[in-house]
Amino acid sequence: MVVKVYGPAYASPKRVIVCLIEKQIEFETVPVDLVKGENKNPEYLKLQPFGSLPVIQDGDFTLYVHLSFSHILKCIDSFAESRAIIKYYAEKYKSQGTTDLLGRTVEERGLVEQWLEVEAHNFHPPIYQMTTQILFFAKRGLPADENLIKESEEKLGKVLDVYEERLSKSKYLAGDFFSLADLSHLPFTQYLVGPMEKEYMIRDRKHSQTSDFPSLEQTLARSSGNF
Ligand SMILES: N[C@@H](CCC(=O)N[C@@H](CS(=O)(=O)O)C(=O)NCC(=O)O)C(=O)O
């Protein structure tokens, strides 16, 4: 069964798609329109009870869902949470595709994990707030909170300063190799320099230049729009 990725137009699903392309894993996409609320449809909620994107369906993967402590029902072939999904595929297809993504030694793997955590807990919150206020609210005709945008941009700037210092000494976040940690940043960074029109936040930090990533370019080409 070909891997199905739900919600290809959005950044978190793109995180998965970039990984699948890097790992040369065949996939297809299933559009889900957040503006129309398709992520709240009962059918989608059966796959992802929180209603967020992505979900992936993969015949090779089964997720056991605890319905109660005495029963475990096999929920065939779907799982959520983009960061968990990319770790799964990076591990399962470690020797496939353009690069290892996870690191070769225990020290490298530790650094990949470290920068994945930094992305999830330091980078993501402010950039997700900016995405919501600048992109998603506009799509829904809602007024943006300019103070919140300013505050989030300042927070993100401080995070990017930490990255700039790291990347002044290391080609990539975890070392001299492109890893899952770098990959995990790509989709929202593309939002930042693209539809959010805040390229200056990267351009003004010379070591943080987002060099060309063919897998991201291919992802954007297949993601039917930006969000
Ligand atoms: N932790 C989840 C969060 C995913 C998430 O927030 N997805 C957004 C879309 S995007 O911002 O990532 O592009 C979403 O579905 N938002 C709508 C909703 O959560 O109802 C993951 O990484 O998979």
Is the CB of 11 within 6 Å of ligand 1? yes
Looking at the predicted structure, is the pLDDT value of residue 203 above 70?
Answer: yes
Is the CB of 184 within 6 Å of ligand 1? no
Residue type, 2: V
Quote the longest CA-to-CA distance of the chain.
56
pLDDT at 98: 81
ipTM given for this complex: 0.97
Whole-angstrom distance, CA of residue 215 vs CA of residue 175: 20
Pocket of ligand 1, candidates 5, 6, 10, 132: which has the most ligand atoms within 8 Å of its Cβ, to mutate? 10
Higher pLDDT, 73 or 28: 28
Is the CB of 135 within 6 Å of ligand 1? no
Mean pLDDT over 176-199 rounds to 94
| pLDDT grade for 78, boundaries at 50, 70 and 90 | confident
β-sheet bridge partners, residue 71: 68
pLDDT at 211: 65
Pocket of ligand 1, candidates 6, 15, 53: which has the most ligand atoms within 8 Å of its Cβ, to mutate? 53
pLDDT at 173: 94
Residues 55 and 66 sit within 8 Å (Cβ to Cβ): no
Looking at the predicted structure, is the pLDDT value of residue 68 above 70?
Answer: no
Whole-angstrom distance, CA of residue 208 vs CA of residue 189: 11
Is the CB of 53 within 6 Å of ligand 1? yes
pTM above 0.95, yes or no: no
pLDDT at 219: 73
Looking at the predicted structure, is the pLDDT value of residue 81 above 50?
Answer: yes
Query: 42: cis peptide before it, omega within 30°?
Result: no
